[in-house]
Chain A
Amino acid sequence: MNKRFRFVHFLFILFLSISFLSGCSFRDIDNRAFVLAIAVDDSGDTKKPYKVTIKVVIPSGNIKQEGVKYAFFSEKGVSISEALALIRATIDKDIDFSHTKIIIVSKSLLDRNLGNVTDFFHRRRDIQLVSWIGIAEKRAKDILKMEPKSQSSVTTPLFNFFSRTAVQSPYITPMYLFDFRRQQIETGIDPVLPIIKIDKKEKRCVIHRALVIGDGKYVELTPQQTMIYNILRGNIERFNAEIKEKNGKFKYGVFIDSTSIYYKINRENSKQPIINYKIRHQGILEESSKYTESNLLKEYGKETSKIAKKMILELLTYFQKQNVDPLGFGLRYKATNLHTGDTYKEWESLYPQAKFTLDINVNIISTGKME
C-alpha cells in the first residue's frame, strides 16, 4: 500500500515538474518566422559595413486561394550576427533559419575585402548547409524583393533555378554552401559562384554568368565561358551548341543530350605536365538554316568537335593565364601523386607550364527529323 502511494506521488511530481519544463525549445510552428532567403549587402557605412535583409514567409490559412505573402526585414550591423540580432527584436515571432535555401552576397561587399563574409552561415546550426549561395551583381536586397512574373512557387523563385528540379540550364552554376566552404578551404580548387542580375523592367532574374573566387582575386566569366565551365565540371549533361559559318551566319544548332568527360594529368615530362581531356558528346541536330542530310551526320559531328575543341582550349588557357583553378586540376594532382610534403607547391609552379590536349568526339545520331 505504502509502495503504491509512493508510486502515485512519484508520478504526480513527475508530471508537475514536466509541465514547467516545456518552455525551452518547444515552439509551435505558427510562432516561427521562417526565413526563406538572406541577402547581405554593403551598407556604405564604414562602421557598420553589413546590411542584412531577410525574406520571411507569412503563413496564411488558405494557401490555395490567398497565395503566400512575404515580409522583408533589414538592419545594418558590424557583423551579420549583429544585424540579425537587431532584426530579431523587430519580429513578433522567432526567426527560424531551418528553411533558408538561398544566400545572396552582393559583389561590392566582396570587393571591400572584409574577410570571410560567409563564415556566419557555416557556424549556425539551423542554417542548412544544402542552401545555395550566389553573388548579386548590384544589390542583393533587390533580388530578394523582386517578384518575377512567372512566380508560382511557395518558396523563393531562385530555388527553382538552383535546385535543377525545374530549370535545367547550362548557364546556371549552382553552389551549395557546404561545397563552397569546402572548395574555399581546399587548396587546388577554386569555387565558382553564380552571378545573379535582375532585369527590373521585365521582372526576371538573369543568371548566366559566374565568378571564380581565386586566391585573393575574382575572375568573372562570360555566359559562354560559364556554359563551358559547367560542361567541363560535369554540372550539366544537356546543352545546345551553335555552329556558325565563317562569316558569322548561323549554320546549324546541336542539342547534346549525353556527355562523358574524363581527364588525366600526364607527368611524363616533369617540367611540363600534360592534361589530357577525353570528351564524348552525343546529340541531335536541333535547328538548321539549310536542308540537312542524314548521311552527312558524321561530318556535322566532326565540324562540331573542331569548334568545341577550340572553345574549350580557349577557356582552359584562360584559366591558366588568370592562374585560377576552378576545375580542380591541383586537387587531382595532389590526390594522384605521391605525397612529398609540399605537393601543392610543386603544382603551383607546374600549372602555368601545363599543356592541354583534347580528344573530343561529337556523335550526332539524328537530324531530328522523320525521313
Chain B
Amino acid sequence: MQTKKKKTTSQTNLIDLLAEKLEPSFDIINQKLQTDNITVHLLYLKTVVDNDQIQNYIIKPFFEMGSIQLFDSYIASLPQNNKIETNEKVLSQLSRGSVLVQIQEQNYLLDLKKITTNLVLETNIEPSIQGPELGLSEDIQTNLNIIRHRYHNISLKIETHQIGTSNNQTLAILYDQENVNDSVLKNLQEKVKNLKHSVILSSSELQRLLNDKKWTFMPIMMITERSDRVIQNIAGGKVVLILDGTPNAIIAPSVFFDFMTSMDDKYLPFGVSKFLKVLRYFGLFICLLLPGVYVAVTSYNPEVLRSELAFSVAGSRVGVPFPSFIEVLFLLVFMELLTEASIRLPRAVSGTATTVGGLILGTAATEAALTSNIMVIIVSAVAIATFAIPINEMSFAIRIVRYVLLFFGTTAGITGLILSFLAFVLYLTNLESFGEPYLKLFVQRKKVETKGVKS
C-alpha cells in the first residue's frame, strides 16, 4: 500500500514537474476535467495538438461515461496510446503533439498531433512523362505511409532516430531486410548516431554531413523527390533516409550510373529508353567536353576540323577582341548566371529573364563582335546538354568539372584535354560510395544486382 502511495505521489508530481519545465511557454495547457466525483488532468501544448481530436477522443467521452473505470480502460485502449518511458522522452513527445492524460494514479500519453504539412507535393525537380506525378510530402508520417503503401512487404524495416542536438528532428532509415547490404546499413546507422550537429534542416544538408570528405564534387548519395525511385532502390537493396520536414529522400549507396538514370527509363518501351539513355550520355559528354574542345581545337589544333569548318570558325572570330578561352569563359559564366537566376527568381519572372538573357544577350554579343556566333551555338548546346542530366546534383558536379577541363584545354590543347579527362575518369574510379566502386557498371551480373546484395 505504501509503495503504491509513493508511486501515486511521484505520478502526481509528474504532471506538475513537466508543467513546471514547460512553464514560460504561452501555449501550455494544464487542464482539469471534473464531474461530481471524477477528476482527470490533461497536459499538452495547444499549438501542436489537434483540438478536434482532444474534443472527440477525450473530452466528449469523459462527460458521457459515468464511471472512472470505464473511462480509464477506454483511454488505455485508444490506438494513439504510447508507452511512457523517461521524463525526457515524455517531454519530447509533448513537444511533438502528444497529450498527457492523468486518470487517478495512471498516466497515459496520447499522440494527437496536428499536421499541417502532410500535403503530397507534385514532382517538379524530376518530372517524368509516364510515372506517378506525386512525390513525397514534408511530413515523415505521410512519407512512410506512401512508401508502405507501395512496398507491401514485411521485410521493409523502418528505424527512427533523433538527429540534431537542438531541434531533435526525426530521421527514418528504411531498408528491405532481405536484400540490404549490411555493411552499408551499419555504416549509415553509426554515422547517424555520431552526428553532433545542433540543427539539421534539410536532406541535402544531412547528405553533406554524412559525407566524410569536405572537398567533393561528385555526389555519392542521391537525393530524390520521387517515391517510385525510393521504392525501386529499396527493392535493389539500398538504404533510404527520410528526414522529417523535407520532401526529399536520401538513397545510399549511389554510383555514377544511378545519377544518369531517369525513372522514365523503366516506364518507356525498351528501344525508346535505350535511345534516350544514349542521348543522355551524349549530352553528358557535350556538356563536359565541348567548351574545352572549342578552345583546344581553335587555338592549338585546327587541323582536326574539316577545312570548311575551320575557315568558318576563323571567319566568325574575325574582329573578336578576346582570345578564345576568355570568350568561352565569358559566355559560360553568363550562362551559369542565367541558370542560377532562373532558379531563384519567382516563376512568373524567370521566363522573361531567360528570354532576355539567352536570346537578346546572345544576339547582341555576336552583333557587337564580343563573341563569335559559333561560340554562341556551342554555349547554348552546352546549356541544353546540362539539362539532359536527370539528377540535379550530377549536373552541378559536371558543371564544375567542365571548367577544370576547359583550363587544361586552354593550357595544353587537345593533349591537355585528353589527359585531364583521363584524370577525371581516374578520380571517378578512385571514388567509392559506402564501399561500392563509383564507376561500377551494372552489366556483369544485372539480375543479381537488382535483386539485391544478399541473394
* Residues of A in contact with B (beta carbons under 8 Å apart): 18, 21-22, 25-30, 32, 34, 36, 57, 59-63, 68, 96, 98-99, 101, 126, 128, 154-155
Contacts and interface: CB of A to CB of B under 8 A. Distances in A.
Q: How large is the interface on B (under 10, 10 to 19, 20 to 34, 35 or more residues)?
A: 20 to 34
A16 to B, nearest CB: 13
A34 B314 CA distance: 10
Nearest to A18: B411
Contacts, number: 75
Given A59-B311, A59-B318, A98-B302, A25 B413 contact: yes
A28 B312 contact: no
Contacts of A96: 302
Contact of B314 (A18, A22, A26, A59): A59
Interface stretch (B164-172, B319-327, B424-432): B319-327
Chain A interface secondary structure, helix, strand, loop or mixed? loop
Given A26-B323, A28-B323, A128-B303, A60 B411 contact: no
26 contacts: A22-B323, A25-B300, A26-B413, A27-B299, A28-B324, A29-B298, A29-B313, A29-B324, A30-B317, A32-B302, A34-B302, A34-B310, A57-B311, A59-B311, A59-B318, A60-B318, A61-B315, A63-B311, A63-B315, A96-B302, A98-B302, A99-B307, A126-B303, A154-B311, A154-B312, A155-B307
Chain B interface secondary structure, helix, strand, loop or mixed? helix
- Top 9 nearest A-B pairs (CB, nearest first) are A98-B303, A59-B315, A59-B314, A30-B317, A29-B298, A99-B307, A29-B314, A154-B308, A155-B307
B317 A29 contact: yes
B107 interface: no
Interface in B215-267: none
B299 A26 contact: yes
B197 to A, nearest CB: 23
Contacts of A60: 315, 318
B310 A29 contact: yes
Contacts of A63: 311-312, 315
Nearest to B298: A29
Contacts of B311: 34, 57, 59, 63, 68, 99, 154
Contacts of B410: 22, 26
Nearest to A64: B312
A27 B324 CA distance: 9
B450 interface: no
Contacts of A99: 302-303, 307, 310-311
Nearest to A36: B307
A95 to B, nearest CB: 13
A99 B324 CA distance: 20
Nearest to A98: B303
A154 B319 contact: no
Interface in B318-354: 318-320, 323-324
A351 to B, nearest CB: 41
Contacts of A101: 307
B316 interface: yes
Interface of B: 298-303, 307-308, 310-320, 323-324, 410-411, 413
A59 B302 CA distance: 14
A60 B318 CA distance: 7
A21 B307 CA distance: 29
A154 B311 CA distance: 8
Contacts of B307: 34, 36, 99, 101, 154-155
Given A21-B411, A59-B315, A61-B318, A29 B302 contact: yes
Contact of B299 (A29, A98, A126, A154): A29
Contacts of B313: 29
Contacts of B317: 28-30, 59
A185 B107 CA distance: 105
A63 B316 CA distance: 9
A7 to B, nearest CB: 11
A9 to B, nearest CB: 18
Contacts of A32: 302, 314
A101 B307 CA distance: 9
A101 B311 CA distance: 14
A36 B310 CA distance: 12
Interface centre among A28, A98, A99, A128 (most CB of B within 10 A): A28
B298 A28 contact: yes
Contacts of B310: 29, 34, 99
A30 B299 contact: no
Contact of A30 (B300, B301, B308, B314): B314
A34 B316 CA distance: 15
A30 B318 contact: yes
Interface centre among A18, A21, A27, A59 (most CB of B within 10 A): A59
Contacts of B303: 98-99, 126, 128
A28 B295 CA distance: 9
Nearest to B309: A154
Contacts of A59: 311-312, 314-315, 317-318
A33 to B, nearest CB: 10
A252 to B, nearest CB: 42
A22 B308 CA distance: 27
B407 to A, nearest CB: 9
A182 to B, nearest CB: 22
A98 B301 CA distance: 8
B293 to A, nearest CB: 13
A151 to B, nearest CB: 14
A74 to B, nearest CB: 22
Contacts of A62: 315
A6 B300 CA distance: 33
B409 to A, nearest CB: 11
Nearest to B319: A61
A96 B299 CA distance: 12
Nearest to A99: B307
Nearest to B320: A30
Contacts of A154: 307-308, 311-312
B6 to A, nearest CB: 59
B319 to A, nearest CB: 7
Given A32-B302, A59-B314, A99-B303, 17 more contacts: A18-B411, A25-B300, A26-B323, A28-B298, A28-B324, A29-B302, A29-B324, A30-B314, A30-B317, A30-B320, A34-B302, A36-B307, A59-B317, A60-B315, A99-B307, A99-B310, A126-B303
Contacts of B312: 59, 63, 154
Contacts of B411: 18, 21-22
Contacts of B319: 61
A34 to B, nearest CB: 7
A68 B312 CA distance: 10
Contacts of A26: 299-300, 323, 410, 413
B228 to A, nearest CB: 44
A96 B320 CA distance: 20
A57 B317 CA distance: 14
A349 to B, nearest CB: 46
Contacts of B301: 98
A49 B122 CA distance: 81
Contacts of B318: 30, 59-61
B411 to A, nearest CB: 6
B308 A155 contact: yes
B323 to A, nearest CB: 6
